[in-house]
Structure 1
Amino acid sequence: MEHREDICRALDELCARYEMAHMTFLVVSAGAASNTYPYFCTTYPDAWTAEYLERGYFGSDPVIDVMRWGLLPVDWSALDWRSKPARRLFKEALLYGVGSQGLTIPIRGANGERSLFSATSSLPRREWTRLRDSSVHEMQILSHYLHETVLDGLGFRKAERIRKLSGRESQCLQLLARGRISKQIAADLGISESAVKLYLRSGRLKLGALTSHHAVALASFLELVKL
């Protein structure tokens, strides 16, 4: 998926799969000089995207601010919408059907790259919470996969030699991708939980990943495991 249109089509498919209203992927920093910014792919209406860019909402959007302090997925209800520019942005977004609920996942690459992945919904709060909680694990992996795919397509990925994963490392990452936690993986493989954590850590180091979700996405991107 080297072209923006391909990424946008993939986001459309993911929206349908996860029953989300919209999804957006934004490259905040590629860790190198680039003249392609702002680079983003979104399912938002073209009219809203044009309005957002024309009004320069990048500077007042609390969602973008997640990149400065967030490390984990952030529900939009936890963001600070109290400022006048933020309230105006949210009100206009609702008029364009962006959705009243949202989840943003910050992605930090090993070489200084920064990206944001957001998914939105118009569901009532209780239903949204159930949808968010049931899909957040897979979305964390997908967000990292998109990060790797987009930066590779833009030519920002350096050719690096990846050390081959051991059988146990691959198994642990494969089971993690399926939503299993360390204790469950240990039971599945008949090994100790400390051994599972060791295999996941060594897998992350070999792949140059910062987190286990990042490692799963990288392993999938490099076709070392299957999601």
Structure 2
Amino acid sequence: MSESGAFLQSARDRFGVLNLSYWFLGASPELPDRMTWLSTYDESYMAIYMRDYTPLKDKAFQICFQRLLPLDWDEVRSTEQSVQDIHDVAEQYGVGRHGISIPIRDPGVGDAMFSINFECEDRHWLEVRQQLVNNIHLFAHYYHLRMKGVIAARPVTAEFDLSPREREVLRWAADGKTAWETAQLIGVSERAIRLYTENAMNKLRAKTKTQAVAIAMKNAILH
């Protein structure tokens, strides 16, 4: 997964966009722990999104998969308050105002969504949007084909889908480190550590951090 994430970052730089994001929802989007999300967004924003929203609560996903053509974020931001709320939070973490989400339907495998994020003045967006769709639409489908093989090759324990940072935080917790100590060790805020911990607990269906560590160790998630 780390290699796929690095590939996404290099593609972002090559296309000259602000962020790229890939969601794979699998054949059963009702199961949050089956979701896969790779993006170039700020990790703190990703942690907040997974804690407060997820695709199950994000209307943009429902609208996107009701169509075949790419979805302009402006189309849903003005009609759905919940989407507006998500964008307000995202912009606080460096996510640009404008974006496009491309639905990818793969019968028998699942749904995927590839998003392009860009920052420009509103008056230039229509022109920029068309260029982005032309340049990145084919790449989005190529990336999905690449990711299908990676996801299929994951071991059974990967069904919990903990991010590398969530695993790292649990490893330090297993060593007896507090949230403050872990924050100092890996160079992020204590608030971010608590968000990673909460997300890991939710994915592992644990009621406490100690229980999350125990479940992770039992399932050989922490190496």
- Output the CA distance in 1 between the equivalents of 2:32 and 2:44: 24
**TM superposition shift of 1:60:** 3.4
Aligned mates of 1:46, 1:99 — CA distance in 2: 15
1:105 and 2:102 correspond? yes
The partner residue of 1:142 within 132, 139, 143 is: 139
Mapped pair 1:121 → 2:118: yes
Structure with the bigger percentage of helix: 2
141 and 31 in structure 1: CA distance in 2 versus 1, 3 angstrom threshold: farther
Normalised by the length of structure 2, the TM-score is 0.61
Distance 1:101 1:42 in 2: 16
Cα pair 1:29 1:112 within 8 Å, conserved: yes
1:95-153 CA-to-partner distances (Å, cap 9, x unmatched) read 11111000000001243421000011121123333222123123121111111111111
Which of residues 26, 51, 54 in structure 2 aligns to 1:54?
51
Check 1:110–1:25 CA distance in 2 against 1; reply closer, same or farther (3 A cut).
Answer: same
Partner of 2:83: 86
Distance 1:146 1:92 in 2: 27
Distance 1:111 1:31, change over 3 A: farther
Q: CA RMSD in A?
A: 2.5
Correspondence 1:17 to 2:14: yes
State the distance in 1 between where 2:81 and 2:3 align: 36
Alpha-carbon separation, structure 1, partners of 2:20 and 2:35: 16
**Which residue of 1 is the match for residue 61 of structure 2?**
64
Paired residues of 1:60 and 1:86 also in contact (CA < 8 A): no
Matched residues in 2 for 1:88 and 1:128: separation? 21
**Paired residue type of 2:11:** L
* Cα distance in 1, alignment partners of residues 51 and 128 from structure 2: 32
Which amino acid in the other structure matches residue 114 of structure 1? D
Gaps of 5+ in 1: 157-227
User: CA distance change for structure 1 residues 32 and 127 in 2, over 3 Å: closer, same or farther?
Assistant: closer
Name structure 2 gaps, 5 residues minimum: 154-223
3-state secondary structure, aligned to 1:79 = helix
Identity %: 21
Report the TM-score, using the length of structure 1 for normalisation.
0.60
- Deviation sequence 1:62-106 (CA, Å, 0-9, x none): 332234302111111122544443222111111111110000000
Runs of 4+ in 1 over 6 A off after TM superposition: 31-35
SS of the aligned residue for 2:21 comes to: strand
- 1:120 counterpart letter in structure 2: N
1:95 aligns with 2:122: no
What are the within-5 Å matches in structure 2 for residues 145-184 of structure 1?
145-155=142-152
Distance 1:32 1:82 in 2: 24
2:38 is aligned to: 41
Equivalent residue letter for 1:138: N
8 Å Cα contact 2:77/2:84 also seen in 1: no
